[in-house]
Amino acid sequence: MSDDKPLSDRQQRMLAFINEYVAGNGRPPTIREIGKAVDISSTSVVNYNLTKLKERGFLERDAEVSRGLKLTRRAGKVIGSVSNAVDETFARLLRVPLVGNIVAGEPIEAFEGAYDEEDVVELSANMLSASNNDELFALRVNGESMIDAMVFDGDIVVLKKQETAKNGDMVAAWVRGDDTTTLKYFYQEGQQIRLQPANPHMDPIYVDSSLVDVKGKVMMVVRHT
Amino acid sequence: MSDDKPLSDRQQRMLAFINEYVAGNGRPPTIREIGKAVDISSTSVVNYNLTKLKERGFLERDAEVSRGLKLTRRAGKVIGSVSNAVDETFARLLRVPLVGNIVAGEPIEAFEGAYDEEDVVELSANMLSASNNDELFALRVNGESMIDAMVFDGDIVVLKKQETAKNGDMVAAWVRGDDTTTLKYFYQEGQQIRLQPANPHMDPIYVDSSLVDVKGKVMMVVRHT
DNA sequence: CTTGACATCGAACACTTGTTCGTGATATAC
DNA sequence: GTATATCACGAACAAGTGTTCGATGTCAAG
Mark yes or no for CB contact A124/B122 under 8 Å.
yes
**Per-residue pLDDT, A211:** 87
Burial class (CB in 10 A: 0-12, 13-18, 19+), A112: exposed
- Of A75, A86, A76, the residue nearest A23 (C-alpha): A86
d(CA A70, CA A164): 50
Residues near A4 by beta carbon (within 8 Å), at least 6 away in sequence: none
**Per-residue pLDDT, B35:** 92
Chain B residue numbers touching A90 (CB-CB < 8 A): 86, 89-90
Query: Is the CB of residue A17 less than 8 Å from the CB of residue A46?
Result: no
d(CA B204, CA A97): 39
**Per-residue pLDDT, B79:** 57
* Model pLDDT for residues B107-128, shown as the tens digit of each residue: 454 444 333 333 445 454 444 4
Query: Is the CB of residue A168 less than 8 Å from the CB of residue A142?
Result: no
Report how far apart the first and last C-alpha atoms of chain B are (Å, whole number): 42
**Per-residue pLDDT, A109:** 46
d(CA A148, CA A197): 6
**Per-residue pLDDT, B97:** 53
- What dihedral do alpha carbons A40, A46, A52, A53 form, nearest 10°? 90
With 80 as the cut, is the pLDDT of residue A167 above it? yes
Q: What is the mean pLDDT of residues B37-42?
A: 89
CA angle, A125 then A131 then A136, to 5°: 90
With 70 as the cut, is the pLDDT of residue B80 above it? no
Which residue on chain B is closest to A158 by alpha carbon? B224
Q: How far is CA B94 from each of CA A191, B14, B54, rounded to the nearest angstrom?
A: 47, 31, 27
d(CA A68, CA A59): 10
Greater confidence (A223 vs B9) lies with B9
- What dihedral do alpha carbons B62, B66, B70, B75 form, nearest 10°? 110
Least confident of A122-126, B57-61, B175-179: A122-126
Q: Which residue among B28, B90, B220 sits closest to A89, beta carbon to beta carbon? A: B90
The pTM of this model reads 0.49
Which nucleotides of strand C are protein-proximal, with an atom < 7 A from a CB? 7-12, 15-22
* Model pLDDT for residues A77-88, shown as the tens digit of each residue: 565 444 444 444
Q: For residue B6, what pLDDT band results from cuts at 50, 70 and 90?
A: low
- Of A96, A180, A94, the residue nearest A138 (C-alpha): A96
d(CA A70, CA A59): 5
Q: Is A57 helix (H, G, I), strand (E, B) or coil?
A: coil
Q: What is the mean pLDDT of residues B157-167?
A: 79
Strands (E), B54-106: 59-61, 69-71, 93-103
Greater confidence (B13 vs A7) lies with B13
Q: For residue B45, what pLDDT band results from cuts at 50, 70 and 90?
A: very high
**Per-residue pLDDT, B63:** 81
Query: Is the CB of residue A207 less than 8 Å from the CB of residue A195?
Result: yes
Average pLDDT, chain B: 70
Which residue on chain A is closest to B67 by alpha carbon? A27
What letter does residue B100 receive in the DSSP assignment?
A: E
Proximity of residue B37 CB to strand C below 7 A: no
d(CA A103, CA A146): 8
- A224 HSE (CA, 13 A, CB side): 14
